[in-house]
Structure 1
């Protein structure tokens, strides 16, 4: 099978973790140990988040008098290289020497008229107390929203339209490489109407799960996996009535509501992929990756909910 695996932020930095290279390397090693065994029998694409890292790099300019934070598109590019290198290093240490692993800087176009630019919603960077957030908002013209009991910066999150590097990504996959790409949702890019064919980056962050869905479509993936820190999608989460969805169709998911800042984009991406391609999407814990691939763990989104047998695109017999 061809599998796109989108690693949630917990695969890199858990909430409250110090943002050090060693902490990220330790967490990425866990992810790599789950992914590496799959590469022997499957074509693998890895996508990762970058929210905390973008926030960290944007604040490091404070250490230099007169310096300004780099724009988000440049920070996206920097974190793609930084995180991609760490994932690539860990995977190479686990795979046979001849098995190639490649990280590819990935630009993704967005519509400059996307309404998301007028309504920033995507959390990036560390958490702040209210007073500190207010000070940064006034000094840098940033927008903040409450995230739990703390405050975080929010930026526009436009829809991904076109993956500009899809040809080299496909070329690498066809030659057996594990490809790490579209990190952090890709580098958001627009075509200015005043200069057809030209490209420029924009101050935005594309949702990683929606970018992963578009990528899965474009590489003709059989399975889209969104690995997170819970074992599936739950209804009535946090209540005594909570229950996990095991197998569900896009139509059934449309009847439920999920938090926009956490599970919502994953559910939307899974439903979109299955509805458009007829493939399978799954949401679950990285620790259950083998079961997710087999169709026996996580929440599996399928075109038709079977009562018996394995889900489409699994390793189990039909």
Structure 2
């Protein structure tokens, strides 16, 4: 079976934790225990988030007096792909001796006329009080949006249109390699391969990658056991199976489960007969056997 496993942000960092390398490496080791179960007897491609890491580097770059301009987001995305890919590959080799593992620096093509460029919505980096936010806007031309009582930078999040290294990733998987690819949604580039100042949603890129690889299963791994009906109420209950149409009707929040649900729907609709599963990183064997998580299949 060919599986694409998309690691949520909790795989590397949990809310409130410091962005220390040691903390993230500890979580990578926990994640690899689940991934090792998916890799046994299967072809496995792994994607991952990089939001906190890109945010940290963006803030550091903007604050560095030695730089006349901060590093662009495409370069920061590439940096974090390399770092996280290295951590995952190292721990997978330790967990699965003899398996070939490779991390592929991946570019994701976006359309220059994507409406997202006129409406930046993706939060990047830390929160600023109003005076500092005004200064950052003036100095760097950032778009900022209120987040609670403070302000944060927002950047465009255009649709993933294609994956530049798809043919290479396919050959590696066909050859028996375990591949780490499209980290953070991939480095956003235009059709001319010029990097753009944006962040691509990691789950939507994972769905695109899974469909193009003709995967049998897309695992969207997070810190909750399933998609919940009536989430946040006393009547909340896990959903075991659902169609894309009914899942979209739930109107899940954009900042958490919404993108995962949309990614699952797109994959299930494009790969009829395949299944997308949303569930906990600690439940991988049960997710694959159909005894845990939420399974999304098109009728």
Partner of 1:315: none
- Residue 95, structure 1, aligned to residue 96, structure 2: yes
| Deviation of 1:125 (Å) | 2.2
- Report the counterpart of residue 293 of structure 1 in structure 2: 288
Q: Is structure 2 residue 237 aligned with structure 1 residue 236?
A: no
Partner residue, 2:49: 49
Where does residue 185 of structure 1 map in the other structure? 185
Q: TM-score, normalised by structure 2?
A: 0.94
Tell me if 1:202 matches 2:196: yes
Counterpart CA distance in 1 for 2:145 and 2:31 is 30
Matched pairs, number? 297
Contact 2:38 2:284 in 1 (8 A): no
Gaps spanning 5+ residues in structure 2: where?
A: none
- SS of 1:201's equivalent in the other structure is coil
Rounded to whole Å, the distance in 1 between the matches of 2:109 and 2:116 is 14
Tell me if the contact between 1:107 and 1:163 (Cα under 8 Å) persists in the aligned partners.
Answer: yes
TM-superposed deviation, 1:275: 1.1
Task: Name the SS for the 1:180 alignment partner.
Answer: strand
Question: Per-residue deviation at 1:108?
Answer: 1.1
* TM-score, normalised via structure 1 length: 0.89
Partners in 2 of 1:241 and 1:151 — Cα distance? 34
What runs of 5+ residues in structure 1 fail to find an aligned partner? 192-197, 305-318
**Distance 1:15-1:133 versus aligned 2 partners, 3 A rule:** farther
**Partner SS for 2:249:** coil
- Alpha-carbon deviation of 1:175? 1.4
Distance (whole Å) between structure 1 residues aligned to residue 146 and residue 256 of structure 2:
14
2:125 aligned partner: 125
**Residues 268 and 125 of structure 1: CA distance in aligned 2, closer, same or farther (over 3 Å):** same
Residue by residue over 1:247-271, the C-alpha shift from the partner in whole angstroms, topping out at 9 and shown as x without a partner, is 0011211322011121111111101
- State how far apart, in whole Å, the 2-side matches of 1:244 and 1:151 are: 34
Q: Is the 8 A contact 1:122 1:261 kept in 2?
A: no
2:153 corresponding residue in structure 1: 153
Does the 8 Å CA contact 2:59/2:126 hold for their aligned counterparts? no
Residues 73 and 202, structure 1, Cα contact 8 Å, conserved in 2: yes
Tell me how far apart the structure 2 counterparts of residues 130 and 230 of structure 1 sit (CA, whole Å). 34
Alpha-carbon RMSD across the aligned residues, in angstroms, is: 1.6
Q: Which has the higher contact order (CA 8 A, sep 6+)?
A: 2
Residues 291 and 297, structure 1, Cα contact 8 Å, conserved in 2: yes
- Aligned to 1:83, what secondary structure does the other structure show? helix
